[in-house]
Amino acid sequence: MVPTDQNDQADQSGPARGGTAPRDTATVRLGSLSLPARLTIALGIGGLAVFAAWHAFAAFLFVAPSNTITKDHGPAIRGYIYPEFEQNWKLFAPNPLQRNVAVEVRAELTDPADGSIETTDWMDLTAIDVAHIRHQPLPSHTAQNELRRAWDFYVSSHDEDGAPRGLRGELSEQYVNRIALLRLSENLGYDLDTVERIQLRSATTRVPAPAWSEENIDTTTGYQELEWRTVRAEDLPGGGNTQ
């Protein structure tokens, strides 16, 4: 007879008498957890479910037509949605966005040496925001929406002749010009003490048709220039309230 190795016998017969079977530590059943641990997991899952339901409900109410709930609780809903979770239908029918709008600025600068005035070239403020967004997994809300929303605010509060519609129109002018001044200082490195006047304009370009479409779209950029605006002390960062 061929002798059998004792180790082989131990392998075939399972664990030694009095020993314990090896435990798979990677597999932990919920039932093996303590009661506090199970309660913590249940509360966490329940809290996430409640938050997901509230978020979906609030987003629905935000884009839904005016109703009793939005009339009674509109401020609470808007306070939750703005600014991170803002919703709109511009991506979908019937009016998807079909154009790119860039906001540009130029400035008149005073030379401290001789007091002469120099006018800069047009500078694309929207391109600065796009550069801050591109390749950023979590871009800032300022880069995504501040300038864009300010320009939308300006356009919606002015008539076709560029005249402001009441106080909102005047506030929109102050707002968009202050943003432009901040960008001139923080992003473009200009000394605001030398800036005498600034001028804004929009550059609108229609999105070209896809390659498979036979539609002929004019992609020529159109410009809308605003009037020159004199920079006042209250327009500068920390300059106080505009009268």
Along the chain (243 residues), what's the average pLDDT of each consecutive run of 10 residues? 51 51 54 83 93 91 85 86 72 70 95 91 95 90 89 91 89 93 92 94 91 86 93 75 40
Helix (H, G, I), strand (E, B) or coil at 228: coil
Task: Report the C-alpha gap between 121 and 143 in whole angstroms.
Answer: 22
Q: What is the pLDDT of residue 26?
A: 42
E-assigned strand segments in the chain: 99-110, 117-119, 123-124, 195-206, 222-225, 229-230
User: Tokens for 117?
Assistant: 């005035």
User: For residue 109, what are the β-bridge partners?
Assistant: 118, 195
pLDDT at position 102: 95
What local confidence, expressed as pLDDT, does residue 241 receive? 44
> The pTM is what?
0.64
Given a contact cutoff of 8 angstroms between Cβ atoms, the answer to whether 209 and 215 are in contact is yes
The pLDDT value recorded for residue 221 is 94
